[in-house]
Amino acid sequence: DIVFPSQAKLTDNASYDYIIVGGGTCGCVIARRLVDSNYTVLVLESGDDPSANSMLPGLFYLLPGTSIDYDYRSTFDDYAAGAQGNFTRLTAGNALGGSSVLNHHLSIRPIPQDYDDIASLTGDDGWSYDNMLPYFKKTETVKDEEIASTYSEYHGDSGPVGITRELHDDDVAYYLKALAEVGNPTVEDLNGPVSVGYMQPLLNIASGIRQTPAYVYLNDIKDNPNLHVSKNTKVSKINFENSTAVSVEAIYKDTTYTFRANKEIIVSAGVFNTPQILQLSGVGSTDVLDSLNVDQVADLPVGDNLRIPPTVIVVQKTKKHILPSIPNLVHAFVPFSIPFPLLLGTTPINKSSEIPDYQTYNLMLPHDTPYLTLACTFVYGYSLDVCLRWQTQIASRDAVYSVVVNLDAVSTGTVRANSTDINDAPLITTGFYSESEDLERAVDILLDLLAVEDSATLKDLGAAVVGVDFSECADKEAGSREFWKCYVLHRTIAGFLYSGTCPMQTCVDSELKLLGLNKIRVADASVFPKVLHGALNAAVLSLGEKAADLILQDAAN
């Protein structure tokens, strides 16, 4: 309670101007802006305060599977998730601050084209990149002097989220050189004037502390009497009178309360739980609601169009060493920074294009440390067998652990409430590779990425991709397209960039209002219609700022 708002005293049937369902990444941003404008706001959050270790960036790999993670599993999927136990693991934040409490700190925006596409899809120019840029700037204070001074046009200097870089020029220079030799330029700022290239990423870390909105947006208003935050509180239903949302039912310590909203209800429960709550409230397609035996309030395709860009990891061994590396373990005891250098790439296959096809997060792992196994098992959820194969094959070598995200993926999955019990995890089907072009594209992407092995720099080092000798693909010719297809199907994971389950155009309008209903909006990653060409944290923060403006404009009229 010293850092975060304390638990609100709850009164059944109490009224607030606004009720926010889910105090996650987007929910915290909206709460802050509405309280700043003197409205009374109730935030209902199913999780507790972020755990102390989640505030320390260097410990991010310890968070999945703990109490702050829903730790969802997809429906049975032996086709694409063989390496995780025939399901896909879906990490998602269950705490005040939501997924920003356990995410990987990377601040990488979608590309301008993504917003211009939303503007033309919705016919609302408010979503164009030029009109969204001020919201991105409003979220952040860039503390990296070089970026702040060179690219001030693109960056904020007084927003809540502190942004820094952790530079390890000497450690990453050889790999950047190799990438450049095969047509991938080194750039300084992918959130600035260019959208393709490799850089040492901007991070949501300042003064050694994770910049979750639970902290940076709410700390300043935690004692404001207009802010009421109820944690460990699960919203089970939204009540409608005719087509108008009027109240919310929520369970706190085994008691169900009803809270009334004078102005609006904002649903920000994330890509998996927003559709679950809406379906249980009667907002969904007829077949879904019939199967749950829930009366329909609005026929909307809630929970369709789940967009998860399929993600594959490849590992290369690079520089050889004789002496073991000890200093890198120091990070485990001084956890204020990421324990290894990082490179971020957004990359087109056609090197003259300015639209990336894939994104890579490259963990530049020093030799003889346990970080590969830690990341591989805890964070990416691969089976120990997969991780140990990689770990043993990089012995006494530096390694590049590349998390490769297919930004062109078009396959969609679904989210369905499993029963009318809100505590029952939703049924999540990834739909990976249901469109065959995604599998072909995944192979194109890996071949483009691994072209780096043909660079003079990596050839000199005797670099090689490792962990490709597993039995499931042993009958495929090494290096062939058939082999890489097999690899993709046995190493695909979800990455963490989920979106799309209540998208603009078919589910909400461009003001984020649920179509055909009154006094209710959705504001979280569910509203993005397609896979964005970036990661999602910055996109959701700016979405929260825009949503707050839309809500306040309506309140003023």
Ligand X SMILES: Cc1cc2nc3c(=O)[nH]c(=O)nc-3n(C[C@H](O)[C@H](O)[C@H](O)COP(=O)(O)OP(=O)(O)OC[C@H]3O[C@@H](n4cnc5c(N)ncnc54)[C@H](O)[C@@H]3O)c2cc1C
The answer to whether residue 91 forms part of the interface with ligand X (CB under 6 A) is yes
Report in angstroms how near the CB of residue 417 gets to ligand X at its nearest: 11
Q: Please list the residues that pair with 378 across neighbouring strands.
A: none
Distance CA(555)–CA(557), nearest Å, equals 6
Judged by CB under 6 A, which of 57, 58, 93, 467 binds ligand X?
93
Residue pair 515/508 in contact (Cβ under 8 Å)? The answer is yes
Q: What does the angle CA 379 – CA 104 – CA 59 come to, to the nearest 5 degrees?
A: 65
In contact, 139 and 25? CB cutoff 8 Å:
no
Q: Which is nearer to ligand X, 265 or 538 (CB)?
A: 538
Shortest gap between Cβ of 470 and ligand X (angstroms)? 25
Q: Which of 17, 33, 34, 45 forms a contact with ligand X (CB under 6 A)?
A: 45
Residues 6+ apart with CB under 8 A from 63: 51, 53, 54, 69, 101, 102
Q: Which is nearer to ligand X, 7 or 396 (CB)?
A: 7
19 binds ligand X (CB under 6 A): no
The verdict on 268 binding ligand X (CB under 6 A) reads yes
Pick between residue 99 and residue 393 the one whose CB is nearest to ligand X. Answer: 99
- Rounded CA gap, 478 and 364, in Å? 25
Q: Going residue by residue from 213 to 252, which x/- string records binding to ligand X, judged by CB under 6 A?
A: ---------------------xx-----------------
Told to check if 546 binds ligand X by CB under 6 A, we report no
Output DSSP code: residue 55: G
Segment lying near ligand X (by CB under 6 A), choices 264-272, 308-316, 335-343, 448-456? 264-272
Is residue 540 a contact point for ligand X (CB under 6 A)?
A: yes
CB of 135 to ligand X, least distance (A): 15
Tokens standing for 6? 């304390």
β-pairing, 15-21 with 41-44? parallel
Of the candidates 88, 103, 191, 430, which one interacts with ligand X according to CB under 6 A? 103
Site size with ligand X, rule: CB under 6 A: 39
Query: What percent of the chain is helix, strand and coil (3-state, nearest 5)?
Result: 35, 25, 40
Minimum distance from residue 103 beta carbon to ligand X (Å): 3
Tell me how far apart the alpha carbons of residues 117 and 419 are, in angstroms, rounded to a whole number: 36
Could you say whether residue 44 binds ligand X (CB under 6 A)? yes
CB 247 within 8 A of CB 236: no
- Say whether residue 485 binds ligand X (CB under 6 A): no
Cβ of residue 166: shortest distance to ligand X, in angstroms?
13
Query: In the complex, what is the shortest distance from the CB of residue 177 to ligand X, in angstroms, rounded to a whole number?
Result: 25
- Adjacent-strand bridge partners of 244: 241, 518
Amino acid identity, position 483: F
Minimum CB separation of residue 454 from ligand X in Å reads 29
Could you give the 3-state DSSP secondary structure of residue 344? strand
Closest Cα to residue 551, out of 511, 518, 515, 516? Answer: 511
Tell me the window of 95-103, 111-119, 189-197, 350-358 that interacts with ligand X (CB under 6 A): 95-103
Strand partners, 258: 249
List 135, 433, 487, 496, residue binding ligand X (CB under 6 A):
496
Region class of 65: left (phi > 0), else alpha (psi between -120 and 50), else beta: left
45 and 37 in contact (C-beta within 8 Å)?
Answer: no
CA distances from 152 to 133, 254, 349, 480 (A): 12, 50, 30, 46
Residues present in the chain in total: 557
With beta carbons less than 8 A apart as the criterion, state whether 99 and 93 touch.
yes
Q: Which stretch binds ligand X (CB under 6 A): 88-96, 163-171, 252-260, 402-410?
A: 88-96
Which of 51-59, 85-93, 344-352, 474-482 is the region at the interface with ligand X (rule: CB under 6 A)?
85-93
For residue 526, the minimal CB distance to ligand X (Å) is 7
Query: Which CB, 44 or 265, lies closer to ligand X?
Result: 44
Question: Is residue 22 at the binding interface for ligand X, with CB under 6 A as the rule?
Answer: yes
Smallest distance from ligand X to CB 153, Å: 21
Give me the least distance between CB of 546 and ligand X, in Å please: 13
- The verdict on 94 binding ligand X (CB under 6 A) reads yes
Q: According to the binding rule CB under 6 A, does residue 263 interact with ligand X?
A: no
| Residue from 99, 139, 369, 377 in contact with ligand X (CB under 6 A) | 99
Q: Is 273 in the site for ligand X (CB under 6 A)?
A: yes
- Residue closest to 288 by CA, chosen among 426, 404, 381, 145: 426
92: contact with ligand X by CB under 6 A: yes
Residue 517, burial from CB neighbour count under 10 angstroms (0-12, 13-18, 19+): buried
Establish if 24 lies at the interface with ligand X (CB under 6 A). Answer: yes
Please work out, in degrees rounded to the nearest 5, the angle formed at the alpha carbon of residue 78 by the alpha carbons of 72 and 80.
Answer: 80
Check binding of 525 to ligand X (CB under 6 A): yes
Q: Provide, rounded to whole angstroms, the least separation between the CB of residue 278 and ligand X.
A: 11
DSSP lists the bridge partners of residue 15 as 260
With CB under 6 A as the contact rule, the residue among 4, 31, 46, 404 that binds ligand X is 46
Least distance CB 126 / ligand X (angstroms): 20
Binding status of residue 23 toward ligand X by CB under 6 A: yes
Considering only residues 407 through 436, tell me which ones interact with ligand X, judged by CB under 6 A: 422
Is 309 a binding residue for ligand X by CB under 6 A? The answer is no
Q: Which amino acid is at 420?
A: T
Q: Which amino acid is at 407?
A: L
> Pick from 397, 262, 256, 392: which is nearest to 321 by CA?
397
Binding site residues, ligand X, CB under 6 A: 21-26, 44-47, 91-94, 98-100, 102-106, 234-235, 268-270, 273, 277, 422, 496-497, 524-525, 535-538, 540
